Amino acid sequence: MRKFLVLATVALGFVFTACDDEDNLNSSVLIGNKSGSNVIVQLDTLYLDARAENLSGTMEYLWTVDGKEVSTASTYKFSQPKTGEYVIGLAVSDDKGENLQTTMTAKVEGRFGKGAFILNEGNMGNETGTLTFVDSKGIAVDSAYYRVNQTLLGNVCQDLFISDNKMYILSQNGAKNGGEGLLTIANATSLEKEKVYDNTTLSWPSNLAVVGENLYIRDNNGVYMLDTSTEVLTFVEGTKGALKNRMAVVGDKAFVMGNKQLFVIQNGAVIHTVSFESALSGVAKTYDGNLWVSCTKPASIIKVSPVDYKTIDSHTLNVSIGAGWGVAPAFSAKDDIIYFSNAGFKLYRHIFSQNETEEVADIKEYVEDAGIYYNSLGVDPVSGEVYFATLKGYADYKTNDIAIFDFNKTPALQFDIKNKNSFPAGVFFTENFK
């Protein structure tokens, strides 16, 4: 658990009562707050203590939160998974029967509005998906969604999208192994659950994108559109062959990969198909509102206009750029700097403005237990830090790392977060959805 984060300063209000005995007119009790503020974020802790004056003998303590008894110790650690304001009460009595009371209000704010999420599939046979959250200080919270809601995401989570302060989490197998459904909708800042959607029509759904009230969901048949206002699911004609990989959204258009083509979907229909010479391995929105598209043979990075669909520029690479069998793009980028690994441990950087490619790291030299690459390359669009998650092996997946690099610093490895992922489906940065 990370140290207390001061978000704001709110004055504490204390109310106390005392008996009418004139000898005890100066008796008092208050709540001491070692944290320095009564505002915290979800799952952090306020360290409180009872401070009584002019009480005699053995004292008894009773702490309450919103009227519910929570502790009888002289100190109390307040922590909550849900946002909101909470009234913390303290009653102190001595062996002469004097009883003093006081209250304070604590505010819990959302923890997850800014940072990176590693979406985990979990072990297909006996687990569900999970969310690992990493903040800017490299502090990780594993099973973040479960910690907040006490319910499980669907089995084999595959994709995540944030729109209008809502997070949409898609799983392949829905309620299997105790999961709550195919699609979970939660508040993007707090992860508090809003709705769960399930549908037997979908066949192994893998990816989604949100445009307004419409959700585009790719499965083995193609792409469906889910109208969230009516919960009506309709097939988008012409999307047969849509690949298992992330979509990109620019404006009111969704761009979905086919084998050698991009399907352009607008208002529930394919309005255009962009053809390429070789198979695609990734698509993503660029920093300037265009599209990055990666191709396998020949290996290339192409910049494409989302308006007229013409190629703005194209660079052939001297190393392969593939996504393997995963559901994440073959690359991730900050500005015009594109990182890729060809689903292996050699990490490359392509500076598009200079048309230069270089190897920047062998992940195995930094991470001792790196045995498997699994959907897990991501680049922070603000800081430029590179996230690379690994597993020791399929049987040893509980031994794992989330390595975070800054290749402008020495040493490049900034954080090595151990044993917080489980078959990652990808890295998702909140800033990429703004």
How far apart CA 19 and CA 97 sit, in angstroms, is 9
Tell me the C-alpha distance between 415 and 87, whole Å.
37
Largest CA distance in the chain: 93
CATH of 22-109, one of 2.60.40.10, 3.30.43.10, 3.30.200.20, 1.10.260.40: 2.60.40.10
Mean pLDDT by 10 residues, the chain (434 residues): 32 38 67 93 96 88 97 97 98 89 97 97 95 94 98 97 97 94 97 93 95 95 93 95 97 96 97 96 97 96 98 97 88 97 95 97 96 93 96 95 96 96 96 93
What per-residue confidence (pLDDT) applies to 25? 56
Instruction: Please state the domain extents for the chain.
Output: 22-109, 280-326+328-434
Q: Name beta bridge partners: 108.
A: 40, 84
Supply the pTM of this predicted model: 0.91
pLDDT in tens, 226-256: 998 888 999 999 999 999 999 999 999 999 9
CB 311 within 8 A of CB 300: no
- Residue 327: C-alpha distances to residues 157, 200, 219, 257, 340 (Å): 10, 21, 12, 11, 15
Q: What is the pLDDT of residues 81-102, one digit of tens each?
A: 999 999 999 999 998 888 999 9
Q: What is the spatial distance between Cα 58 and Cα 164, in angstroms, rounded to a whole number?
A: 55
Q: Please check whether the domain covering 280-326+328-434 is classified as CATH 2.120.10.30.
A: yes
pLDDT computed for residue 199 by the predictor: 83
